[in-house]
Amino acid sequence: MEFTELNLHKDLQKGIVEAGYLTCTPVQEQVLRNAFNGQDLYVQSQTGTGKTAAFLIVIFQRFLTESLLHGKKALVMAPTRELAVQIEEEAKLLAKHLPFKIGSFYGGVGYGQQQQLLRGNVQILVGTPGRVLDLNASGQMNLMDIAFLVIDEADRMFDMGFYPDLRKLIKAVPPVDRRQTMLFSATLNSWVKNLAWEYTKTPFEIEIAPETVTVEEVEQLLYHVPSGDKMKLLLGILERDSPESAIIFCNTKRYTEIIAKRLDANGRKVEFIIGDLPQSKRLKIIEDLKAGKTRFLVATDVAARGLDIEGLALVVNYDLPAEAENYVHRIGRTARAGKTGKAISFASEQDVYELAAIERYIDMKIPSEIAGDYLYAEDKSAGRNVRAGAYADSRDQKRSDPDRAHGDGRRLRKEGNMRGASQRGISHDVSKDDKARRTEKNAKNGKRGFPPKQGRSEQAGDLDSGGLSAMSFEKRMAYYRTKYGAGGGANAAASVEVDVAVGPEDKLRQDGGARKRKSRRSRQGKQPPVAPAAGKQLVKLAETPPQPVAVSEKPVKKGFFAKLLSVFNKNG
């Protein structure tokens, strides 16, 4: 069907002709046949099929021809800033000869210009949910004048977590009997259907099979390649095919920047686009790509939806997407509006597991080839430490650059961990010599030092590596008798008073306890006890028979082992 066959307003028809629209696409024909009477629509159609022009033509035609809609407004919701700007540009192109004011409202930029648009009585509002809700909550955007509500890329809205915002927004506009609602989705989605059933009035469903775009108009090709050779293969493909323009998709923000910088190091003029970039820079990058100033763009899935780049020659899935639906959206950037295009995907050992779900989703097996040695080009960035910005992405944190050698990757991660640990006062990878020096230093400073767990069993005697905890109760008691002697309570009592010739650790522990007792007495205002007699002896209890020793007249408190041995003596 031709656009000239429709009974459209002459000024609108003029804008359609100047925009280059001649023949309706299938989705445009279905929408234009069923929407002029105010019917709500639920449309499932792949991106790049012209649905933006379809709902804009419906809105403009009804505003121009129905007096009851005078003073009313239309609200078009989009998931990303880029798509909102693109819809705004398309609307301005079609409404070139119409008296409507058109504006876009999205986050990432100041409120001043958008507030000025609202004061100027803008009639076609295009925006993202967050900013629209903010402006409505502040009373600057009146949503009760909305006569048309369009939700574009509705499935993507739910992927991005906009469902609660959408519900709030729909409740802020007039009820279903006072507005026309049109929902557009690239894929069938139960969330979108629920939204359609709940917030539309008996919607007319239009379904355009996505396979038409995916299978018939895009040449797909798959290479199984080790992750460490992806960059070499990418450089070889770009050299072989020499595309006029290409988008390389990666799964994470960090990796997107790394790949862009590595391509730049190999002499390729390239830009990258991620959600963290300032909005002005993102728009500039897209404009340069459309104008041909930039040939190659590396992007996350933020560019997989809604970007209409005329004549895009090649799409490369550097990483296979984790969501099968995103594969369709990515390769849909090429083969737009009936043109042909090419999509090449890399399947490495890291992401090959996503392949089965993708092939089930598109209901076909992606043709694959073996990349010969001739297709691998020299990578001048190999072995370089390429840094990226700090992005709060859990998938980024779990993933290092697989194109670097595994040894280098582990070394870099270890160095990074140690640098972060040193800032937090944590020491990592301390050698045994370092531990010994630290223990000796603590001993000189009068600090209590404890050897590592594996060394305690050695200092305890001839125990095996299991230590005391591995012994039965009977064996442990026998060991105590052997080590500390079985001479009875007198010998045990003497062990508390005399300086026993024991290991340095026990001496440190004993000195530390004495200092604590002295400090406690001084705080309580008491005098220290009388010092032991000068003739105090050093003995090894287990080897030397007990001898008379000089002790103070003050009763001696029995320690743990003394009490323990006293129990044995009584029971013995």
**Domain end among 381, 408, 435:** 408
Give the dihedral sign, CA 485/490/493/497.
negative
In three-state secondary structure terms, 238 is helix
User: Is residue 298 within 8 Å of residue 254, measured between CB atoms?
Assistant: no
C-beta contacts of 195-199 below 8 A and 24+ residues apart: 195/151, 195/154, 195/163, 195/166, 195/170, 196/42, 199/170
Tell whether pTM > 0.75.
Answer: no
Cβ neighbours for 539, distance < 8 A, ≥ 6 positions apart: 498, 500, 501, 547
Note whether residue 439 is domain-resident. Answer: no
Residues 188 and 257 in one domain: no
Residue 330 domain flag = yes
Half-sphere exposure of 190 (CA within 13 A, CB side): 0
Residues of the domain holding 346: 212-408
Instruction: Count how many Cα atoms sit within 13 Å of the Cα of residue 156 in the half-sphere of its side chain.
Output: 28
DSSP code at position 2: B
Specify whether 37 is located in the same domain as 156. Answer: yes
- Burial label for 333, CB within 10 Å (0-12, 13-18, 19+), is buried
- Calpha distance 234→189 (Å, rounded): 34
Q: Which positions ≥6 away from 460 have C-beta within 8 Å?
A: 467, 468
Residue 151 gets the label, from left (phi > 0), alpha (psi -120 to 50) or beta, of beta
Give counts: helices (H), strands (E), the chain.
23, 14
* CATH number of domain containing 179: 3.40.50.300
Task: Give pLDDT tens digits for 422-476.
Answer: 333 333 333 444 445 555 555 555 544 444 444 333 333 344 434 555 566 667 6
Whether residue 114 is contained in a domain is answered as yes
Same domain, 219 and 185: no
CB 72 within 8 A of CB 237: no
Instruction: Give the three-class secondary structure for 345.
Output: strand
Nearest to 40 by CA among 238, 196, 152, 243: 196
Same domain, 290 and 365: yes
Per-residue buried b or exposed e for 129-150, using 16+ beta carbons within 10 Å of the residue's own CB: bebbbbbbeeeebebeebbbbb
Residues 47 and 81 in one domain: yes
Q: Show the 3-state SS of 366-427.
A: CCEECCCHHHCCCCCCCCCCCCCCCCCCHHHHHCCCCCCCHHHHHHHHHHHHHHHHHHHCCC
Q: Domain check: are 196 and 79 in the same one?
A: yes
Q: What is the pLDDT at residue 375?
A: 93
The DSSP symbol for 316 reads E
Q: Strand 41-44 vs strand 204-207: parallel, antiparallel, or unpaired?
A: parallel
Q: Hey, what are 552's tokens? A: 């103070």
**Do 272 and 376 belong to one domain?**
yes
Q: Is residue 387 part of a domain?
A: yes
> For residue 160, what is the DSSP state?
T
Ranges of residues in the chain with a pLDDT under 50 are 211-214, 392-435, 447-466, 486-509, 526-546, 548-554, 556
Say whether both 475 and 357 belong to one domain: no
The secondary element (H helix, E strand) that includes residue 297 is: strand 296-299
- Output the pLDDT for position 64: 95
Clarify whether residues 21 and 49 are in a common domain.
Answer: yes
Residues 138/172, Cβ–Cβ less than 8 Å: no
Task: Give the model's pLDDT for residue 449.
Answer: 43
136 and 37 together in one domain: yes
The domain total for the chain is 3
Q: Where are the alpha helices (DSSP H) in 77-220?
A: 81-94, 112-119, 129-137, 154-159, 163-172, 190-199, 211
User: Bridge partners of 125?
Assistant: 75, 103
Whether residue 41 is contained in a domain is answered as: yes
Identify whether 413 is part of a domain.
no
Radius of gyration in angstroms for the set of CA atoms belonging to the chain, rounded to a whole number: 39
Assigned domain for 549 exists: yes
Domain boundary among the residues 384, 408, 432 is at 408
CB-based contact 10:88 (threshold 8 Å): no
State whether 178 and 218 are in the same domain. no
Structure tokens given for 164: 């609660």
Using CA atoms, how far apart are residues 297 and 269, in angstroms rounded to an integer?
9
Q: Is residue 465 part of a domain?
A: no
Domain boundary among 408, 431, 454: 408
144 and 247 in a single domain? The answer is no
